[in-house]
Structure 1
Amino acid sequence: MTRLSGTGMTLAYDKRVIAEDLSVEIPDGSFTVIIGPNACGKSTLLRALSRLLKPATGTVLLDGRDVHSQPTRTVAKTLGLLPQSSTAPDGITVAELVARGRYPHQSILRRWSAEDERVVEESMESTGVADLADRNVDELSGGQRQRVWLAMALAQQTPLLLLDEPTTYLDIAHQIEVLDLCAELHERQGRTLVAVLHDLNHAARYATHLIAMRSGKVARSGLPGEVLTAELVEEVFGLPCRVIDDPETGTPLVVPAARRRTGDLSTNARI
């Protein structure tokens, strides 16, 4: 049984419908990446899967039960979310914010423990923010804050982790670091990851399962090599391109068609 899925969903904000009759299944143990043009419903789908947005019709199932019928703490122990943009409380330090990822594991009978401390420290180390532990979050750069929020999501230690544009604000080196970390969580720890990414080549390199969306619908889903074709890219994004093998990984590499420059004429045309 797939642990996370959505069936027959209508997703809307007030009366503005984003998607209708949308169904998706997240393969267990996969690194699923959702791609598509702006305003196609990628982040809206992720919000629905994460319980932040209740479908107007249809159902999101987590472990075979409607995610909205389950207690918040139960869901938070199973499913973590890194939202697209987050606001930290004023004056909170990095270590304090990351520690909030452990809240679902606390109860009247279980208080803060050495295990919680270890998880928080490891989460900060793995995201490269351990040296910022005592800094206020509001003093950090956008890229540093993004890594702190990722550390908090990791500290939650959920088997399912949803990430909405996790490379936002990061330069290319830190984008690769974060995606390498995500791949490690998937490969070594067996976590199921679902991420929204804009960069098609990053999506192809890291995903084990791709969902391509267009206008609130799933245009195609499956293995990156099956989904990311030149025809699909032009159909979904309106981008003429070639798709070749990435020389480093062998995964699909999208090469946009060159723009024809004004005045570029052939020799015959000039004669």
Structure 2
Amino acid sequence: MTAISTRLGAEGLTLGYGDKAIARDLTVEIPDNKFTVIIGPNACGKSTLLRALSRLLEPTAGSVVLDGKSIEKYSTKQVAKILGLLPQTSIPPEDIRVAELVSRGRYPHQQFLRQWSQADEDAVTSAMEATGVAHLAGERVDRLSGGQRQRVWVALVLAQETPLVLLDEPTTYLDIAFQVELLDLCRRLQREEDRTVVAVLHDLNQACRYADHIIAMRGGEVIAAGAPADVVTAELVGDVFGLACRIIDDPESQTPLIIPVWQTA
């Protein structure tokens, strides 16, 4: 197996469900302490790759490498101390309250002789404040709106305080203002706390604005990887998404901004 030079990567992955292969011979490296965004059309393998990187999906072939060795060699608790995951869909336990659910993000830090501490309490409080759900601490999760529940799940991941954070479509159900707030928060975590953040996003312009590194996928393959300005071209958008467009500079961030070609009658 080729050596992986970053904390998290994969070599020669074959991924699928049952007899259906989603990706074959997939190799990626996730840059350390950067914000990586995975883009691509529906059913191209984005979420499948993220599930494999987080050990939720066992590859048919190949290996996911975490800190120099196969992720399969770690215990579940060891992985959870290093890597936090927000899956695409999550179902909360019945009748659980917001603060209790977010507190479960501290499970990897609990030991037989080290139970709940002030550090745990501070981590949960900070996570709820950062995601705007502190005022919902006593509410039942199953009675919240879709957007509120999404914020709570993000808070749980943040409460883990892991150096690697993986987010599968984290802006789902969120209004545009909180989408921006959440992505701003992810960028702050990456820049101010030197965390490695990986997210699957559908909005190409958000991907270009926030990512340091983009992985573009199509049909279970990585088509391109690199800085947004190098990867996101009109040719790539047309090839991957089938969308005719122009690329201009975002006037706020100076990152690529995709403008679809106007189709007149």
**1:28-64 residue CA offsets vs partner (Å, 9 max, x unmatched):** 1110000000000000000000000011000000001
Which residue does 1:267 correspond to in 2? none
Structure 2 residue 181 is the aligned partner of structure 1 residue 165: no
Residue from 50, 55, 58 that aligns with 1:46: 50
3-state SS of 2:63 partner: strand
Distance apart, 1:109 and its partner CA: 1.3
Structure 2 residue 263 is the aligned partner of structure 1 residue 259: yes
Which residue does 2:111 correspond to in 1? 107
Distance apart, 1:104 and its partner CA: 0.3
For residues 203 and 72 of structure 2, what CA distance do their matches in structure 1 show? Answer: 32
Which residue does 2:207 correspond to in 1? 203
Which residue does 1:223 correspond to in 2? 227
3-state SS of 1:81 partner: strand
Matches within 5 A, 1:95-244: 95-244=99-248
Distance apart, 1:69 and its partner CA: 1.4
Provide TM-score, normalisation by structure 1. Answer: 0.96
> In structure 2, what residue type is equivalent to 1:121?
T
Which residue does 1:81 correspond to in 2? 85
Identity %: 64
For residues 133 and 175 of structure 2, what CA distance do their matches in structure 1 show? Answer: 16
3-state SS of 1:182 partner: helix
For residues 157 and 256 of structure 1, what CA distance do their matches in structure 2 show? Answer: 39
For residues 259 and 168 of structure 1, what CA distance do their matches in structure 2 show? Answer: 28
3-state SS of 1:128 partner: coil
> In structure 2, what residue type is equivalent to 1:154?
L
**1:197-253 residue CA offsets vs partner (Å, 9 max, x unmatched):** 000000000000000000000000000000000000000000000000000010000
Structure 2 residue 61 is the aligned partner of structure 1 residue 57: yes
3-state SS of 1:247 partner: coil
Q: Higher Cα Rg: structure 1 or 2?
A: 1
3-state SS of 1:111 partner: coil
Structure 2 residue 75 is the aligned partner of structure 1 residue 71: yes
Distance apart, 1:68 and its partner CA: 1.1
Which residue does 1:268 correspond to in 2? none
Which residue does 1:14 correspond to in 2? 18
List gaps (5 residues or longer) in structure 2.
none
For residues 20 and 109 of structure 1, what CA distance do their matches in structure 2 show? Answer: 45
3-state SS of 2:199 partner: strand
Which residue does 1:266 correspond to in 2? none
Figure out how many residues of one structure are paired with residues of the other and give that number.
261
For residues 241 and 225 of structure 2, what CA distance do their matches in structure 1 show? Answer: 15
Distance apart, 1:86 and its partner CA: 0.2
For residues 111 and 29 of structure 1, what CA distance do their matches in structure 2 show? Answer: 30
For residues 89 and 167 of structure 1, what CA distance do their matches in structure 2 show? Answer: 22
RMSD: 0.5
Which residue does 1:264 correspond to in 2? none
For residues 127 and 233 of structure 2, what CA distance do their matches in structure 1 show? Answer: 36
**1:54-81 residue CA offsets vs partner (Å, 9 max, x unmatched):** 1100000000111011111111000000
List gaps (5 residues or longer) in structure 1.
262-271
Structure 1: 4+ residue segments shifted above 6 A: none
For residues 12 and 144 of structure 1, what CA distance do their matches in structure 2 show? Answer: 32
For residues 15 and 136 of structure 1, what CA distance do their matches in structure 2 show? Answer: 39
Distance apart, 1:259 and its partner CA: 1.1
